[in-house]
Chains A and B, each alone.
Chain A
């Protein structure tokens, strides 16, 4: 859907750049990118540079950048274009584990501002700086994510964790992921990434989406929460900040 939008708007001087955030790098992202066959730049962000550089804390998120390289909207939730966005995965097997069913039930409760977001995007592509949705530099900075010294340190721990994971030091990586989670509690990507690196055999093809205690061995789960547990705790309606013009 994003690709169709990109192809429609490309003649108006618009480009889409997709970035896959994954410690597992190209191998983690490959099947999705190859299935999409993108005609736009499609990049791999193994160390979540988008978190450091733009303040991305959840996916999907977007940043709008104008022709001069100025950010006109900082990182914010980026809903898929309107229409058909809540179709269940085609290949969900009949024997879907209860946890995954519950996760889907929570996911559909997450508010979606797709209509407003995409109307704004089209307005910006058409009118550029004159669009009311293109924010001033001061507003862009003010709306970017809060960051203090603790959060900055949390980003450093996340990067260390990623490097340790890639070097095969999984247990050491967990300690630094946990520090990152403690110091940057609002980052869903830091948590989802770490959870997705714990293999859960019971989840089969959805192992990376399980993101929580193993049903047959819950004590071995090394993290405080999980996707389902955390979403229930904060409420699906608070999973993302609502989009604001």
Chain B
């Protein structure tokens, strides 16, 4: 996830990474990674990233950082539960993949190049 600060609201961290910060640790699906302490309303991204093993890339001269996705288990997926993907359409209206529960979905990636 992209960051303009290394101290961000907990909700922003959770929405950006897909990991929920709970008393038992950072959790996604059935997987929880213990954290040394439960973050409060503001997350120290560097500390949580270190604890979770998430890499942080920096373009600090431009005031930008990016947190990489998890590499737990050596695979892109840590759970078969589909992530709560939210992306805009052509008009900027956000669409949640989860709104299609009850139907079979084929998510199709393409590019205009």
Per the 8 Å Cβ criterion, residues 69-105 of B in contact with A are: 69-71, 73-83, 85, 87-90, 92, 95, 97-98, 100-105
CB distance from A129 to the nearest CB of B (A): 10
Q: Is the CB of B109 within 8 A of A196?
A: no
Q: Is the CB of B66 within 8 A of A159?
A: yes
Complex CA distance for A60 and B59, rounded to whole angstroms: 31
CB distance from B108 to the nearest CB of A (A): 5
Chain B residues within 8 Å of A174, by CB = none
Q: Is the CB of A192 within 8 A of B104?
A: no
Complex CA distance for A163 and B97, rounded to whole angstroms: 24
Chain B residues within 8 Å of A53, by CB = 18, 69, 83, 85
Q: Is the CB of A42 within 8 A of B89?
A: yes
Per the 8 Å Cβ criterion, residues 17-75 of A in contact with B are: 17-22, 26, 28-34, 41-45, 47, 49-50, 52-56, 59-72, 74-75
Q: Is the CB of B105 within 8 A of A64?
A: yes
B8 within 8 A of A: no
Chain B residues within 8 Å of A74, by CB = 76-77
Residue among B18, B79, B88, B106 facing the most chain A CB atoms (10 A cut-off): B106
Interface size bracket, B side = 35 or more
Which of A21, A67, A195 sits near B109, CB closer than 8 Å? A21
Which of A64, A72, A153 sits near B55, CB closer than 8 Å? A153
Chain A residues within 8 Å of B51, by CB = none
Q: A20-B111, A176-B57 are in contact. Are A152 and B64 (CB under 8 A)?
A: no
Among residues of A, the one whose C-beta sits closest to the C-beta of B17 is A52
Q: Which of A95-103, A105-113, A142-150, A212-220 contacts B (4 or more CB under 8 A)?
A: A142-150
Chain A residues within 8 Å of B53, by CB = 149
CB distance from A238 to the nearest CB of B (A): 20
B40 within 8 A of A: no
B36 within 8 A of A: no
Among residues of B, the one whose C-beta sits closest to the C-beta of A33 is B90
Chain B residues within 8 Å of A124, by CB = 104
Among residues of B, the one whose C-beta sits closest to the C-beta of A227 is B113
Chain B residues within 8 Å of A15, by CB = 100, 103-106
Q: Is the CB of A160 within 8 A of B57?
A: yes
Complex CA distance for A193 and B112, rounded to whole angstroms: 9
Q: Is the CB of B68 within 8 A of A153?
A: yes
Q: Is the CB of B113 within 8 A of A209?
A: yes
Complex CA distance for A190 and B108, rounded to whole angstroms: 17
Among residues of A, the one whose C-beta sits closest to the C-beta of B77 is A144
B54 within 8 A of A: yes
A231 within 8 A of B: no
Q: With A59-B110, A149-B55 given, can you name 13 additional A-B contacts, CB distance below 8 Å?
A: A15-B104, A26-B90, A44-B89, A63-B82, A64-B107, A65-B82, A74-B76, A74-B77, A75-B76, A152-B55, A155-B69, A169-B62, A192-B111
The 6 A-B residue pairs whose C-beta atoms are closest, nearest first, are A55-B76, A196-B113, A137-B80, A156-B68, A156-B57, A152-B68
Seen from chain A, the residues whose Cβ lies within 8 Å of a Cβ on chain B are: 2, 13-22, 26, 28-34, 41-45, 47, 49-50, 52-56, 59-72, 74-75, 78, 121, 124-125, 128, 137-138, 140-142, 144-149, 151-157, 159-160, 163-164, 167, 169, 172, 176, 179, 189, 192-193, 195-196, 208-209, 211
- 15 A-B pairs with CB atoms under 8 Å apart are A2-B108, A14-B105, A15-B106, A31-B112, A44-B88, A53-B85, A55-B76, A62-B107, A72-B80, A157-B66, A163-B66, A164-B64, A167-B62, A172-B59, A179-B57
